[in-house]
Amino acid sequence: MATFPHLLLEHAARRPHAPALREKDLGIWQTLTWAQLAELVRALAHGLAAAGLQRGEHLIVVGENRPRLYASMLAAQSLGAIPVPLYQDAVAAEFVFPLNNAEVRFVVAEDQEQIDKFLEVRAQCPRLQRLWFDDPRGLRNYREPGLDSLDALAEAGREHARKHPQFFDAEVARLQGADVAAMFYTSGTTGTPKGVVHTHGSLLDRAQAGARFDKLSDSEEVLAYLPPAWIGQNIFSYAQWLACGYVVNCPESAATVSIDMKEIGPTYYFAPPRVFEGLLTSVMVRMEDAGALKRWMFERFMKLARRVGPARMDGKPLSLADRLAWKLGDLCIFGPLRNQLGMSRVRVAYTAGEAIGPDLFSFYRAIGINLKQLYGSTETAVFVCLQPDHEARADTVGVPIEGVELRIAADGEVQVKSSGLLKGYFRNEKATAEALQDGWFRTGDAGFLDAGGHLKIIDRAKDVGRLRGGAFDGAMFAPKYVENKLKFFPYVKEAVAFGDGRDQVCAFINIDMEAVGHWAERRNLPYTGYTDLAGKPEVLELMRGCVEQVNADLARDEQLAGCQVHRFLVLHKELDADDGELTRTRKVRRGFIAERYAPLVQALYEGRESQYIETPVKFEDGRSGVVSATLRIAEAKTYPAVRRAA
């Protein structure tokens, strides 16, 4: 089947009563079968057609993962229109560019929060005509022109279907794999977001290749809790969902995800490193509260897990003593820990989006979770390289899978050719020409293929630099590598490293409020909020210990020994996407941060002991304000590079 609507109708005809989607509502899981989903999609498609949605036109969809939002995307695709998912945590102003860039007339939004954003910017988007909402709570007394519920849209669609009974089937029959299926806006780390245009063929080609690689079937259970606007979530819970026919489960809210994970027990799991970091932080915080016996058992068995767990996951032989010790550890620690994480049934787990810290990666594999890495991007429909079972390593992102060609350019840039490449950037011929050359996509990542054919990504090519002067003059500087090593510690939420063209590496650190707050409470250290806690001398010393452990580890790597952090500070506020410091996928906007906090960067490199800073911030309720503090700057111990014997 060439398109998403074709696959939907195939599942509905072949297995009408099998569950397609589940949604937790008021604590109870509600199931939508394939037949019920097809009926809903048909009604919504008729409704959108009656409202005037045309083939090739864009429909914006915003919200959490919700069955009726998925159905709205399928309905648009059934008409040959193009769904454009946007990030639900974006502020209203961030909607203006995609609305005007794609000349959007119609929007489907989840709830009052999202509707309010569109109403706020409506005057700036003259083509915007109709808004439909899924959740009516709080919207009963709204009297905005063009605003209505998805229930009303579906009812109008059923009336349209009675008058035009052959319309839907005829529209679906016109669809082809080469038709545009969706558009995803990039995160915009370096400027204005670009609309990445994908066809049904490009998305399904990669979805099916990934499914074959991991032998996915319609019996998988998936929890959809990441933003649908992120292509990683979209591929796993939409493209592969329709390609394989497995069940996608939508949590009640972000706050219930951990509970819902345990209830569903997903078999196929996907998350960026920050989610795995957060899960590990919660585990370590809980262990601090455990009794002495439990802490002793945890530490003892985790030493065993780190020694034999990865080898066991890679299918390597273990001694009888290690096998027996592992089984005992699994009974006492590893099994309960996997259950606490909601990963007891996980058969395949992937992480992507950015590099994951080696220690973090090893932790999950050590306790028996088949965590692997993949490599891809919005432009490549995600699946470029995947790690085969028994070949998962922290320092690679896998091998090129079926249908992919890789080459490394003279400057070290990774370039990709596959059937999953974007059709182009929407209304941006210059960017398209720069990214696509002779059928090869220029990823912008620096990397190389090792002797085993695995791809190693060093960093973003534009971010990899060199130190100038000092003891490590000319040494390679890979900021993301350093940042990820720092973020392995449960007390570090975010880090930003500087060093390109300078004589040493310095860093900003964001503390993890939950982990450090818990640490402070156990030591009777009072604090009033984030800024107060981050400024405590005791917290600075805690961070110094983390930095120096990272430095000791870096010293053992000849290539990256120069990346040791000499000086650092703890930021007085969390880096925030609303303040422009992170993208919506939580990637650091390094250039913006360096410019915004220029006085702090200057203070780090001028050897000052402290620096006063005032920073404008946006609060959750939309108000603006200023956070100010005098930040202490700390020195960290560095180590001579360890030379490996020839």
Distance CA 319, CA 190 (A): 51
Could you read off the pLDDT of 474-493 as tens digits, one per residue?
888 989 889 988 987 889 99
Helices (H) and strands (E) in the chain, counts: 23, 29
For the chain, give every domain's residue range. Answer: 4-271, 465-635
Check residue 101 and give its pLDDT: 96
| pLDDT tens per residue across span 196-234 | 999 999 999 999 999 999 999 999 999 999 999 999 999
Distance CA 282, CA 286 (A): 6
Residue 352 pLDDT class (50, 70, 90 cuts): confident
CATH 3.30.300.30 matches 465-635? yes
Per-residue model confidence as pLDDT tens digits over 109-118 = 999 999 999 9
Q: What is the DSSP letter of 640?
A: P
Query: Using CB atoms within 10 A of its CB, is residue 541 exposed (0-12), middle (13-18) or buried (19+)?
Result: exposed
- Give residue 189's pLDDT band: very low, low, confident or very high (50, 70, 90): low
With vertex at residue 345, the alpha carbon angle to CA 341 and CA 346, rounded to the nearest 5 degrees, is: 75
The CATH code of the domain at 4-271 is 3.40.50.12780
Contact yes or no for 509/527 (Cβ under 8 A): no
Q: What does pLDDT average to over the chain?
A: 92
pLDDT at residue 191 greater than cutoff 70: no
pTM higher than 0.85? no
Backbone angles phi, psi at 318, to 5 degrees: -120, 155
pLDDT at 484: 82
Neighbours of 490 (CB within 10 A): 23
Q: Residue 299: enclosing H or E segment and its boundaries?
A: helix 292-313
What pLDDT, in 10s, does the model give residues 401-411? 999 999 999 88
Over 90: is that where the pLDDT of 331 sits? yes
- 80-122: pLDDT as tens digits: 999 999 999 998 999 999 999 999 999 999 999 999 999 999 9
Per DSSP, the three-state class of 258 is helix
Give residue 469's pLDDT band: very low, low, confident or very high (50, 70, 90).
Answer: confident
Q: Parallel, antiparallel, or unpaired: how do β-strands 28-33 and 268-271 relate?
A: unpaired
pLDDT score for 621: 65
- Give the model's pLDDT for residue 588: 86
Residue 645's pLDDT band (boundaries 50, 70, 90)?
very low
294-313 pLDDT per residue, tens? 889 999 999 999 999 888 99
Mean pLDDT of 624-636: 93
